[in-house]
């Protein structure tokens, strides 16, 4: 059975409900992607480090309830990373992080399963890929599995955690450069490839061997590009509750669309026509629109897309 192995952080979002109260919600971009994939009817295997503390157990239960396999996720007694989430006036999420010596930061390549022959895709990115320790593990896993499995990368930049210097930029850029699929927002593109337009970034990655590039632009929709050409996908009209998890859901939607089309090898990925790219982008956009209509990272079930 095909599926996606997701490497990266799982953390707890403390969402502000008022001046003095917070609501604990499972989060972390890679964990959100895994759950969204599971809810969209595809197999996801989570490889990120999970704590044995109460928050780690909450995350493990949340992943499992979303249909995600967690039996191969490394466990430790290090604490779970915490994100304090507030909302700006436009309902976009503003983050503050408690992220030092946490369970996701102590995972090594030796802690990850040596045999991933039951999946066809590896998903990497986000804060785990930008930090020195966990970023080195992500790069090592991609180096080990690249060519045997397709690699998807979503940088999901968080400069308030990994900084805005050249080192995290290089780590995220280098992962994108060797991926088969790059999904990136226009805001994250400004960090990963500064002073580069969307068209220039797409050209750059296609020339470097990336087979599919997806650039999201919030309310302005998304662009998907591959060897066959480019297609623009509009953002469906929706009422925005907040934007937490929207990009993660779009990433999962692209992967779900690819798995729907039985894209499990490089040749098939390269052969996708623009109408197929459009259908994949539309699925991802519909899923993301449902997520932004809900509070927190709450991706849709497959039946919600009808």
For the chain, the structural domain boundaries read 4-300
CB 249 within 8 A of CB 287: yes
CA angle 170, 172, 175 (to 5 degrees): 105
Tell me the pLDDT of the chain (306 aa) as tens digits: 689 999 999 999 887 766 678 888 899 999 999 999 999 999 999 999 999 999 999 999 999 999 999 999 999 999 999 988 777 777 677 778 888 899 999 999 999 999 999 999 999 999 999 999 999 999 999 999 999 999 999 999 999 889 999 999 999 999 999 999 999 999 999 999 999 999 999 999 999 999 999 999 999 999 999 999 999 999 999 999 888 899 999 999 999 999 999 999 999 999 999 999 999 999 999 999 999 999 888 999 999 998
CB-based contacts of 155: which residues, under 8 Å, 6+ apart? 125, 126, 129, 130, 172, 175, 176, 184, 188, 191, 192
Q: Does domain 4-300 have CATH number 3.40.1190.20?
A: yes
Count of CB atoms within 10 A of residue 19's CB? 5
pTM: 0.95
Strand partners, 122: 5, 151
> Under a CB-based contact definition with an 8 Å cutoff, are residues 224 and 231 in contact?
yes
Q: Residue 42 — left, alpha, or beta (φ > 0 → left; ψ -120 to 50 → alpha)?
A: beta
Distance, first Cα to last Cα, the chain: 25
CB 154 within 8 A of CB 123: yes
């Amino acid at each position: 059975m095909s599926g996606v192995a997701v490497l990266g952080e799982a953390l707890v979002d403390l969402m502000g409900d008022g001046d003095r109260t917070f609501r604990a919600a499972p989060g972390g971009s890679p964990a959100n992607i895994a759950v969204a994939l599971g809810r969209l009817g595809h197999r996801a295997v989570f490889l990120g480090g999970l704590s044995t503390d109460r928050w780690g157990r909450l995350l493990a239960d949340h992943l499992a309830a979303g249909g995600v396999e967690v039996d191969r996720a490394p466990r430790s007694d290090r604490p779970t990373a915490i994100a304090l989430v507030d909302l700006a006036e436009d309902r976009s999420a503003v983050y503050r992080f408690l992220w030092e010596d946490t369970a996701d930061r102590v995972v090594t390549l030796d802690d990850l399963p040596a045999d991933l022959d039951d999946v066809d895709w590896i998903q990497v990115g986000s804060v785990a890929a930008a930090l020195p320790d966990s970023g080195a593990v992500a790069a090592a896993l991609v180096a080990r599995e690249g060519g045997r499995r397709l690699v998807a990368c979503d940088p999901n930049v968080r400069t308030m955690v990994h900084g805005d210097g050249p080192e995290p930029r290089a780590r995220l850029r280098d992962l994108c450069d060797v991926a088969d699929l790059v999904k990136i927002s226009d805001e994250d593109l400004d960090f990963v490839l500064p002073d580069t337009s969307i068209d220039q970034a797409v050209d750059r990655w296609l020339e470097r061997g990336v087979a599919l590039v997806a650039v999201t632009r919030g309310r302005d929709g998304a662009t998907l590009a591959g060897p066959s050409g480019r297609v623009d996908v509009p953002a469906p009209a929706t009422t925005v509750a907040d934007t937490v998890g929207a990009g993660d859901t779009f990433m999962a939607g692209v992967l779900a669309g690819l798995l729907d089309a039985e894209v499990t090898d490089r040749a098939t990925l390269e052969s996708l026509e623009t109408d197929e790219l459009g259908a994949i982008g539309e699925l991802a956009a519909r899923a993301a629109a449902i997520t932004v209509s809900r509070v927190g990272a709450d991706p849709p079930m497959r039946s919600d897309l009808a």
